[in-house]
Amino acid sequence: MLTDIMAIVRETGKLIRNADISKAAIRQKTSKRDLCTACDIEVQTQLFDRLAKLLPEAQFIGEEQAIRPAVTNGWTFIIDPIDGTANFAHDYRYSCISVALVKDGSPVIGVVYNPYLDELFYAEKGCGAYLNGLPIHVSGLPLSDALVAFGTSPYDLEYKRDTFALAEKVFEKSQDIRRTGSAALDLCHVACGRLDGFFELILRPWDYAAGSVILTEAGGVITTMENTELSLVKDSSVCAATPSAHAELLEIYRHYNEG
């Protein structure tokens, strides 16, 4: 199953890599920051079609789908056709496809593909995490030596004050901070030790479902900012890091909330 999903995702990535963004139709959804391009739709349609042939009994949750079916018993694919759509629309070339396979409410497979670098991150629960065939692990660095990415929750502006206040606090305690524009890639980059931590105050399940399997299998820790389990049913904050940096990030957040 994992091998077949990987092949489908890699093949579909060509739509992103070969897209001529100067000619692509771009639509605003909830705001000028929240975009959907013709390529988002094309990628989602191709993934739905091909993955449905692979696992006909599965249901689908995709970002560009009008309805958001509940994750119930049985198999569900949770898909972000392009994570990093604003990057894609600017031809910034830092975006990915994110596909998670969930069984009875728990993610069991995660596949994240960066078509620009031909980097395929993947993991199956209990079997370790990999990048293009090689095992990956989190760095193990503490926060003082960590490079930490954060997301700006650009579609939910009520989080912006807390986001940037926390970013300043994390900057003070870490080596440096980054804002890349793709949460799914950030999680994979923590998984392979290019980054050591990541946080964002609100994300959707398709942003983190696949990355959470990859990160956990690589020895990282991922929870909400309140240190509870991530939900695949509702939107959630995300704190993901090496075990020691994770504890320190949660502590900064707790301290910040206590004022």
Q: Which residues bind Ca ion (CB under 5 A)?
A: 63, 80, 82-83, 85, 207
Which of Ca ion, ligand IPD, none sits in contact with 115, Cβ below 5 to 8 A by type? none
Secondary structure element (H or E) that encloses residue 178, with its range:
strand 176-178
**Residue number with CB closer to ligand IPD (80 or 217):** 80
Inter-residue contact 222 to 215 (CB < 8 Å)? yes
Total residue count of the chain as it appears in this document: 259
Cα of 229 vs its chain's centroid, Å: 16
Q: Does 94 bind ligand IPD (CB under 6 A)?
A: no
Residue 121 CB, nearest approach to ligand IPD (Å): 15
* Residue from the set 203, 210, 232, 239 that interacts with ligand IPD by CB under 6 A: 203
74 secondary structure, DSSP code: S
* Residue from the set 84, 107, 115, 205 that interacts with ligand IPD by CB under 6 A: 84
Q: Does 85 bind ligand IPD (CB under 6 A)?
A: yes
Q: Does 236 bind ligand IPD (CB under 6 A)?
A: no
Q: Does 197 bind ligand IPD (CB under 6 A)?
A: no
Residue 202 CB, nearest approach to ligand IPD (Å): 7
**Residue number with CB closer to ligand IPD (40 or 196):** 40
Residue labelled with tokens 């804002």: 179
Residue labelled with tokens 């949750």: 61
Secondary structure element (H or E) that encloses residue 119, with its range:
strand 119-124
**Residue number with CB closer to Ca ion (76 or 98):** 98
Q: Does 42 bind ligand IPD (CB under 6 A)?
A: no
Give φ, ψ of 154 to 5 degrees: -65, -15
Best CA proximity match to 98, nearest among 117, 131, 122: 122
Residue 85 CB, nearest approach to Ca ion (Å): 5
Q: Does 83 bind ligand IPD (CB under 6 A)?
A: yes
Which of Ca ion, ligand IPD, none sits in contact with 152, Cβ below 5 to 8 A by type? ligand IPD
Sign of the CA dihedral 52, 54, 57, 60? negative
237 contact partners, CB below 8 Å, separation of at least 6? 199, 200, 201, 202, 203, 224, 225, 226
Nearest-angstrom CA–CA distance, 229 and 138: 20
Chain residues 151-190 in contact with ligand IPD, contact rule CB under 6 A = 151-154, 181-183
Query: Which positions lie near ligand IPD, rule CB under 6 A?
Result: 63, 80, 83-86, 151-154, 181-183, 200, 203, 207
